A and B are shown apart, each in its own frame.
Chain A
């Protein structure tokens, strides 16, 4: 995990002091809203429908228990006792007062948290695989590289005024739990033919009104050249990215217009011409960063009698283990997914009490670490098998043991029109409707992996393009309608979903999902997930089921 030294802490304190003065000037009328807005946005403070929203950065989704407790304290003291974890692994507080914002930032800074890189046309908070350092098969810990990128990119003078915002994700397994193909830059870490650490570099992925999966422009870039190569990509973007039209300013548009090959050629030329040694990370600095991510594990037996006995005796625990617990790279440990998708609740919401509980469990049972997944869930990455029954009971007592990871009720939903000033339609109630319809855990288990992703507008914060079933809220003659897509995936087998047909009214969405599931259950072959069946059969049977009444 990153650690701030004295210089970093001083920088955070200075920045908050500066923002405090800017807030005072705004409240006194010395700054107009037009003048102040870019300043507050640079400190993560947005104005939404009901209040200010503070977006707090959680670098590569990693939190210590102390940081989680501080988030709980702030949610309790300055908000309404909860926060919302987003698909960018940040935390959003939706009921913030402008006059409190500087105090909140001061309190965040005390534990090394902040809202830097959560807004503006800069390199945003870097995300990584939430199982980093815990899952088997990683070429390296992606957080080491995400942290290097964070340190390099924070307040980078050359890249603080890009044509548009810029998002980077890092993964180190083929499963791609960081959704790297829908990022401006997606970095996939692996061992090259000689056994050296290397990145496949994807550029120009993104969702929104023009969705693309990012093409790989460079295979097996030696890892030590990562920063200079990123610099070359960003220089080409800064040089040619459009600034005249906000809808065409993301790098995906530039890559699509130039073509991946030509874009790659320009990046390579820029890279060859630059003084890369001045940018690339010295080995000793990389080693210093790496030291912050070393976890010491005990030698434990592969089989835990305590765990096996609990699993045999307690059906609810066994179900939780089947869906929420993943094998750890170290024998005797497990990765525990904590669902923030309790049936009927708001996806991604977490109360201050729940944050405190998770912080306590992390401190006691998970080497003081919590992770945030872009699918709006939390993770305790290093739990001993022996401790799993106790952790499960504690999670259950806090409403945090819903056994639905990857199942139909584990739905991504953006805040939508209930909170967001940009939304066209609500996303949360649609998620709640669907989750309630498939509340029966036996049915959900029979359906198996099915990822539903809902966005309240075309900006696609809810990743609807890459949902196995995607749901996009649209404004149709002033009413909330929802366009369905099927066949998308944001993972290693990434693909963009295809539009099923005309948008349906809000009251029809859960029923339509039911019909899609019905087709899947009737059509599926042995071992097929919903996504596999859609890919095999195509849209036709699904379309027929949903629009049967229209014919």
Chain B
């Protein structure tokens, strides 16, 4: 299963993804890891970036029509914004990558997020 690395930005709580070079807002530009070891190393490094990030973790990603999307519903909501306010969150930016997420089907538990909740 492909993975992406996500976190919330410390200063404003914004959901961010690791592009391979920097932390970015759009899931569509996130680096997708097909090697678990490399993904986990990136996650470990993210955990040291305490002035920039809160709670980095890996999410599962799968191929969908038109591109890739987080497997879990929760992560798609994080990547888009709240479904009750389409003008809030990243979905307001529009674009092909947002459309891919909006139309992605299927849902599954977000393992990374569940682990976080367990720790709370």
Give A residues with C-beta under 8 Å from B.
26-29, 32-33, 47-52, 80, 94-99, 346, 417-419, 421-422, 426, 428-429, 432, 475, 477-480
Whether A422 lies near B15 (C-beta < 8 A) is no
User: Given A28-B51, A478-B108, do A49 and B78 touch, yes or no (CB 8 Å)?
Assistant: yes
Give complex CA distance A48, B120 in Å: 12
B13-A52 in contact (CB<8A)? yes
Question: Does B112 touch A at the CB level, under 8 Å?
Answer: no
Choose from A26, A97, A426 the contact partner of B83 (Cβ within 8 Å): A426
Given A96-B13, A97-B12, check contact A50 B51 (CB 8 Å). Answer: no
Q: How far is the CB of A134 from chain B (nearest CB, A)?
A: 32
Cβ-defined contact, A26 with B10, below 8 A: yes
- Cβ–Cβ contact A480 & B107, under 8 A: yes
A98: chain B residues at CB < 8 Å are 10-13
A50: B residues at CB distance < 8 A: 13-15, 78, 81-82, 88-89
List 16 contacting pairs A-B, 8 Å CB cutoff, sorted by A. A33-B10, A33-B50, A33-B54, A47-B54, A47-B55, A49-B15, A50-B15, A50-B78, A51-B12, A51-B14, A97-B12, A98-B12, A417-B77, A418-B84, A475-B109, A479-B107
Task: Verify A32–B10 contact, CB threshold 8 A.
Answer: no
CA distance A47 to B10 in the complex (A): 10
- Residue numbers in A under 8 Å from B8 (CB-CB): 47, 51
Q: How far is the CB of A288 from chain B (nearest CB, A)?
A: 41
Contact A418–B77 (Cβ < 8 Å): yes
Residues of A with C-beta under 8 A to B89: 50
Does B103 make an interface contact (CB < 8 A)?
Answer: no
Q: Indicate whether B117 reaches chain A with its CB closer than 8 angstroms.
A: yes
With a CB–CB cut-off of 8 A, which chain B residues contact A426?
83
Residues of A within 8 A of B73 (CB): 417, 478-480
Query: What separation, in Å, do the CA atoms of A479 and B13 have in the docked complex?
Result: 26
Point out the residues of chain A lying under 8 angstroms from B116, CB to CB. 421
Choose one: B55, B72, B81, B84; the contact of A429 (CB below 8 Å). B84
Are the C-beta atoms of A29 and B51 separated by less than 8 Å?
Answer: yes
Known contacts A47-B55, A52-B12, then 10 further A-B pairs from the complex at CB < 8 Å, ordered by chain A residue: A27-B10, A47-B54, A49-B15, A49-B77, A50-B81, A95-B88, A99-B12, A418-B82, A418-B83, A478-B72
A422 with B117: CB separation less than 8 A: yes
A33 touching B55 in the complex, CB below 8 Å, given contacts A50-B13, A95-B88: yes
Inter-chain CA distance A432–B83, complex, in Å, is 11
Nearest-neighbour CB distance to chain A for B103, whole angstroms, equals 16
With CB as the reference atom, state the residue of chain A lying closest to B75.
A49
- The 8 Å CB contact of B84, one of A28, A33, A346, is A346
Complex: how many Å from CA A418 to CA B11?
Answer: 21
Q: Which 9 A-B pairs have the closest CB atoms?
A: A478-B108, A51-B13, A418-B82, A97-B12, A29-B51, A52-B13, A428-B84, A479-B107, A478-B109
- Measured CB to CB, the closest approach of chain B to A101, in angstroms, equals 10
Report the bound CA distance from A417 to B116 in whole Å. Answer: 15
Residues of B within 8 A of A419 (CB): 82
Asked if A32 meets B50 with Cβ closer than 8 Å, knowing A47-B13, A478-B107, A480-B73, the reply is yes
